[in-house]
Structure 1
Amino acid sequence: MTSLLLFFDTDELLGDEWLASAIGIAITYVVFIMGVPALIFQTFIPDALRNMYNERVGGRWPYFFIGQIFLILFLFIESNRWVHNHGATSSEDLAMNLFYLTLFVIAIILFSGIVYLHKKFKSSQNIEQQLSKKIVDDALKYYRQHQNLNKKDLEDLGILAKELPAGRKKNIFLEECERLTEYLLDQPPKERDDKLIGVILDEVVCLSVTYDSGRINNENMRKALDILILSYSKIRRNGDARGNAMSSYLNTTIGNCMKEIGIIAMLKNDLLPVMDAIEKLSSIEGTSREMFTLGNEALLQGHVQTAVAATKKLGGKVKQNLSTGDLLRYNEKRTLFFWLGLVANIYMKKGAARQFAKRQMNFFIEHFSGRPADMQTIFGEAKVHFYHQADFATTDAVEKMEKAIRAELR
């Protein structure tokens, strides 16, 4: 009724009832367009993301609100008869002009409200994507200015890593993390901050797929693994600030992240990411421990095929190292020990698994043919290696397999 009165009762232009209707409708409308988005955000958006969004993206809403208040105040002021009657030479002309001005103000309130409401509804549909892009953009801007990342940006990336649900939204987030990581990796070796890159890989990329297994899926884990192997490839291609050598810190971080992702995938009985992790780990230097851990965990979980894959990858490295005939370096010996430990644990399964373990040992036995003392030394060092790591089960398995091999060779 008030709407009809507002627009069609031309005999009472700017009358008390007319202006009261205009002001009432304007206030109701502003409350509606401000309240509905707020209700949606309050109901459907998690607290952590909502606060982050208001801080980084939604900071313009006070300006809109203030503008609406000013327009409504104009209507209040206009309702004062003294304003448009005082000193008027033609009250009829003035009334008509004020009538058009009032309609114009109401039109501004309506149009701006519709635009605001549309933007709010649209932003609520892809808030995660907006936040991911905004945080990375802010991080890159800060890095260009200070050659470092803002602590707040890292914290917010960590929150998104834990809060975003599995699927497309998390993949979009990981793509933004990849953009940030690539930029940092492409810096000149002497200016590159390996520790900072390691923090992003460990506390953001890896955390996003290991923090809560209910918030990840196969696609997310494989995307995280792709970012890790891409980082390794770029480090290897660009070299280290100390020369062409690999950054041992990043090397260790990447390997450990791949291992953690593989274990989480294994616990979810999702073996594709596990096999992907083993495949990628095999191409990274100094990751024999991580491959052993994945293979051994696979045995404990009953995923023998995964353990076999890890054993073959480690065995290929051992065979290559032994074929040179040179003395084994530290990392090469560690690879040999972890391979022996994994083969020994498979050997303890008996049956067909034991036959597989024996076949895996053939090239090792042939290499030390005629040198039983050297082979005994390797077995002894392997047992000490696992004993110092408190892996007593593997220590015992290596000893039992050694005794069986020595008995067969007599």
Structure 2
Amino acid sequence: MTRHHPLRSTALATGLALAAAAVAVHAATIRISCGSVGQELELCKHSAEAWAKQAGHQVQVVAAPNDASERLALFQQLLAAGSDRIDVFQIDVAWPGVLANHLLDLKPSAGGAETQHFPAFVANNTVKGRLVAMPWFANAGLLFYRKDLLEKYRLPVPATWAELGASAQRIQSAERAAGNSRLWGFVWQGRAYEGLTCNALEWSVSHGGGSIVEPDGRISVRNPRLAAALRQAAGWVGTISPTAVLNYGEEESRGVFQAGHAVFMRNWPYAWSLGQAEGSVIKGRIGVAPLPGDPGGRSAATLGGESLAVSTYSRQPRLATELVLYMTSAAVQKQRALAGSFNPTRSALYQDGEILRANPFMGELAGAFSQAVARPTAATGSLYNRVSNEFWNATHDVLAGRRTPDDALAALEARLKRASRGERWN
């Protein structure tokens, strides 16, 4: 009969308990919320799982709503409750000021990595001296067009909105007469959400109509140039754009364009790789250009992009920060550029030959990013979401024919003045 020494048995039990505890610590799970527009979710999972395998931990990728407004509302709800359900948040370029109080300062852990990203993005993500998010990918509005159709009708890439309207109407009419009854001239993001703010800001700035709230705090929406821009856009609905465009987000407009049912599309760079993928009916027939401008104005592309931030309520802040630094590294940003045409936020990658061969427009349209127009987040601070909500609703009313541009902008100005009372902008 084998006898067990009590001390040895106790030591063994203690050792097993410590080993189990070590395994439990080793197998920490980090939860990251990623967007799901286009290939976002797929590529996020790929990179997060690669980090987990390398670091010896686990990740859980949580899908977020496509609609940016819905996603922000969800994040605000979770953070306001002090929830630890998500460790890492994918946040829009317009949100650092809104969410900053709930996000960790990443700079002490970054080891200077932030200096490799576009300074404008780092500045955008720095709130009261704290780097609350690390840039992940850049965005700017672009014009996608059917090269084959412009060549067929011997038309140039439109340089102004008026030229776009004329070319869209000409091609749409001729193609429909030839039997292509489902073709539309121009698709864009017309639903009442943040994407409409981006579109309408481009129309406004390119017409010289201002940026909603100017850097000095002045509310600039009530002016004839913005009114003219909205009137022009409203004229597209039901003529060169389907009435359903008033319910389109990024994916709805991409779906129409990629199915071969539109001549022009306003969208973000991610649409390039999907349109060029195997099985796409328009593969090899897509062109990309800066968005049109207007005589007396200039071409304007709304600055977009996403960053990764760590919640102050995370139970694993160190590991969550390590995941963020990995996900925003040069290697991962290059992989995302090659696989999904996501624009890096690291300037050095714009000299990478592999990236430029896969995404020729990244080199040709680099100016679109350096000259992109920022939404008025700095001027409006924590009230930006309210300002944007008021702006997109006023714009949607005009596009839907419920109000004239002049009436809508007068009412918008009054609402923004009420919203700003007591704040640092006027």
Would the TM-score normalized by the shorter structure come out above 0.5?
Answer: no
- Larger % of strand: which? 2
TM-score where L is the length of structure 2: 0.22
Larger Rg belongs to: 1
TM-score where L is the length of structure 1: 0.23
- Larger % of helix: which? 1
